[in-house]
Structure 1
Amino acid sequence: MTTIHYNASDLKKAIEEDPVFSEKRPVLICNSHITGLAVSRGLGRKGIPVIALDREDRGLAFSSKYVTQRGICPNPVVAEKAFIQYLMDIGPAFEKKCVLIPSMDEWALSLAKYADQLSEYYIWPFSKYETIEQILDKSQLYQRAKELNIPVPSYKKLTEENEASLPGDIGFPMVLKPINKRAFYDAFQEGLFIASNRDEYEEMTGKAKQAGLELIAQEYVDVDRDGYVTIVIYMDGEQTLRGALAGQRLEIYPPRSGTTCLVQSIEAPELTERAVSVLKEFSYEGIAECEFLYDQKDGEYKLLDINTRPWKWIGLPIHCGVNLPHLLYSAVNGEPYSQLEPTVGVKWIYTNDYKKLKANNEGLFEGDILSKEEWLEILQNKTDGSKLITTAVESLDDPEPAYRQLQNSFSKRTYYCPC
């Protein structure tokens, strides 16, 4: 039975009493849902001790056998200083400095902001706070991209002064994105809004105002079903590319405004070069996800976003032979190596969302696009050794997270996570 520690002192004691933490440098991940589960498996299967933190106790990684210790910590969105103090309170338990890996923006920003204070007990293997903040700021990201002749969609931050004029400037349909992704998802269980007309625009901006959330308005890129391509990488502190993979998004849930539920590894060397060039422009260090959309109007791939941390389907590159978390861990330990030849044509699926999408006859593709062979691998939980498909949750050698997900679905209290 897994033990979840509900305060820092209990977690500190558990770490001190567990001999595995004196044998190998540990990793601490937060939060601990789908992304955290993949990172835990990618490291745990290499024999690395993993500590999983989350703001509540039902994250799927908490049930994984590859997580050594589990703790409930303060939510950095509403209690950032308490979260940092929590980490400082457990810090003295580590014989070797612990590596920090965030899996959502709010965790990454808090850890980066207090990296100097945390350095007494922890290693922060990502860029400085100022760099991460610049990349997440669309205006700075897009300006750097333009200087490199990399196309980007047009966008403006929503303010009281330009709220009335933005529809004329951007046009419809319009993408309305939150600056605070976690708070937005908690409020609406969506990653963004898409307004098709002024009435929807006013309704959606009104909802965001009422929730106290800031938005940016962005051009809606007319992209076909093959036009979603993401480049994922690990770049070390010397800006040496250690691992990379291109993924083509096949389906998202909820439709239009959701997150990936089906993606396939592909070859995209030109876009990989673009992603690396932008990250090098920021002297970026760490794991990152660079999203591109193919705009049918001008025949260009446009840089949409860069996420400065692991993301939802990081299990795909791990499964394809590019274990980004382990590449990072090895570099931290002075043993850097590279994995730059991933397996292509392999799919990753989050079955819960994919089934809901297809049950409603929705999606970028009509009907079920998985083969019988792929479904049989999923149903038999043989995805870890498969060359066809891997899953976000189900795993033959680590079945407890799938059971946790099932139990979560029966609960009136829903676990929300935009990952």
Structure 2
Amino acid sequence: MQNETVFYNAHELKQAIEMDPLIQSKVPVLICNSHITGLAVARGLGRNGVPVIALDREAKGISFASKYVSKRGVCPNPVVSEKAFIQYLLDIGPAFKHKCVLIPSMDEWALAMAKYADELSEYYIWPFSSYATIQQILDKSQLYERARSLEVPIPAFEKITTKNQSTIPDRISYPMVLKPINKRAFYDRFKEGLFIVENKEQYEQKIKEAGELELIAQEQVNVNANGYVTIAVYMDGEQNVRGTFAGRRLEIYPPQSGTTCLVESIEAKDLSKRAVSILQAFSYEGIAECEFLYDENESEYKLLDINTRPWKWIGLPIHCGVNLPYLLYSYATGEGLTSVQNKFDTKWVYLNDYQTLKENKQGLFDGDILTKDEWLEILLNNTDESDLIITAVASMDDLGPSYQLLKNKFAKQSYYCPC
């Protein structure tokens, strides 16, 4: 029986790490946070024999229940206690016999680790870009300005300030997208990733609600349901591309302002080259997800966003032969593996959100997108080796997270995450 003890202070977790023979015998990985993204990363590493320590700001993260997590701890939330979080990492650091590889799964963790990478270097390997680079990419206004200088097509945008707030609607028409600079703080407050406003009244109201949170105004691009494409890349510290993957987003939840709940693997060589060239222009290192949308009016793909860490459906490229976390780990530990995508037209689904979306008669597509054969794979729990579809959580090889997800749904205060 797996020991699923959750440690609530750094001292106890440090002692547990010191006594774990697997963690002491190999280079371990520390992941955070520990919801859907963290689960996929833990499985992608653990199935290759890598010891994984999982952290989160609360104990309900579903990857805490995975058999591929060796140790789990509740740590300070870097959004509100950044220095306390870094001190937590420093407190457990002496327990590692080998330097531990850090893999964040959300922006706030990535920014904090990058900011204090030098202080953490005694105990940890930081295999991503510098704080300045990550901050530049995550700040949408800086990202778009840089993309514009590289002649990369982007949606029309402006950063909202007190000076230009009243005149932006003169240049960007409704419906208009309002996106946060700080994604996690925005999500914690509103439980959605962005605002879509239809008129001046909504525009002014949403800016007022956002308060001190910085926003950019962006045109809502005319894109059809098949026009959302993501290119995932792992680029090592010498700018070598170790793996790339392409996926098409099929559904998001909540509608319009949510995150992906259904996606399929595709082949997109030309767009992959564009994503790589953008990341190389930033001298980027690490795992990244580059989001594009196809503008029907201008007949071209526009760069929408770049995530500088693993993202929600990273389990799909892992399943399709591009194990980005393990490629990163292999480079960090001196092996330097590469891989190529070997499965196309395979789907990934987060059933919780997808079923809710379709039960409410919502979505980018009318009706259920999944085929009978895909549903049978899900219902018969055959997705672990399927070429048709995999699920975000369920796995016959690792049942604990499915039960944890069920417990979270029934809890008085449910676990939530924008990943």
Tell me which interval the TM-score lies in, with the shorter structure as reference length: over 0.9
Aligned length: 417
Corresponding residue of 1:114: 116
Corresponding residue to 1:37 among 36, 39, 54: 39
Amino acid at match of 1:21: I
1:263 shift after superposition: 0.3
Corresponding residue of 1:66: 68
Q: Distance in 1 between matches of 2:382 and 2:407?
A: 22
Kindly indicate whether the alpha-carbon contact (under 8 Å) linking 1:230 and 1:292 is maintained by their aligned counterparts in 2: yes
1:416 shift after superposition: 1.7
Q: Distance in 2 between matches of 1:149 and 1:343?
A: 32
Q: Distance in 2 between matches of 1:414 and 1:197?
A: 34
Partner-residue secondary structure (3-state), 1:13: helix
Corresponding residue of 1:22: 24
1:112 shift after superposition: 0.2
Tell me how large the CA RMSD over aligned residues is: 0.9
Corresponding residue of 1:79: 81
1:137 shift after superposition: 2.3
1:369 shift after superposition: 0.8
Kindly indicate whether the alpha-carbon contact (under 8 Å) linking 2:144 and 2:154 is maintained by their aligned counterparts in 1: yes
Q: Identity of paired residues, percent?
A: 68
Kindly indicate whether the alpha-carbon contact (under 8 Å) linking 2:29 and 2:102 is maintained by their aligned counterparts in 1: yes
Q: Distance in 2 between matches of 1:276 and 1:197?
A: 37
Amino acid at match of 1:14: A
Q: Distance in 2 between matches of 1:130 and 1:342?
A: 35
TM-score for both structures, normalised by structure 2 = 0.98
Correspondence list, 1:3-18, <5 A: 3-18=5-20
Q: Distance in 2 between matches of 1:275 and 1:260?
A: 20
Corresponding residue of 1:231: 231
Amino acid at match of 1:24: K
Q: Distance in 2 between matches of 1:43 and 1:204?
A: 41
Corresponding residue of 1:286: 286
Corresponding residue to 1:189 among 182, 188, 191: 191
1:296 shift after superposition: 0.8
Partner-residue secondary structure (3-state), 1:108: helix
Amino acid at match of 1:291: E
Amino acid at match of 2:218: Q
Kindly indicate whether the alpha-carbon contact (under 8 Å) linking 2:140 and 2:181 is maintained by their aligned counterparts in 1: no
Kindly indicate whether the alpha-carbon contact (under 8 Å) linking 2:317 and 2:341 is maintained by their aligned counterparts in 1: no
1:186 shift after superposition: 1.1
Amino acid at match of 2:250: L
Corresponding residue of 1:298: 298
Q: Distance in 2 between matches of 1:206 and 1:376?
A: 48
Corresponding residue of 1:400: 400
Q: Distance in 1 between matches of 2:358 and 2:166?
A: 38
1:223 shift after superposition: 0.7
Q: Distance in 2 between matches of 1:187 and 1:143?
A: 27
TM-score for both structures, normalised by structure 1 = 0.98
Mean CA deviation greater in 378-387 or 342-351: 378-387
Cα-to-partner distance string for 1:22-73 (whole Å, 9 max, x where unaligned): 2110000000000000000000000100000000000111010000000000
Amino acid at match of 2:323: N
Corresponding residue of 2:271: 271
Corresponding residue to 2:153 among 151, 161, 167: 151
Kindly indicate whether the alpha-carbon contact (under 8 Å) linking 1:245 and 1:342 is maintained by their aligned counterparts in 2: no
Structure 1: stretches of 5+ with no match in the other structure: none
Corresponding residue of 1:354: 354
Cα-to-partner distance string for 1:254-277 (whole Å, 9 max, x where unaligned): 111110000000011111011000
Cα-to-partner distance string for 1:74-115 (whole Å, 9 max, x where unaligned): 000000000000000000000000000000001000000000
Kindly indicate whether the alpha-carbon contact (under 8 Å) linking 1:186 and 1:416 is maintained by their aligned counterparts in 2: no
Corresponding residue of 2:142: 140
Q: Distance in 1 between matches of 2:13 and 2:24?
A: 15
1:147 shift after superposition: 3.4
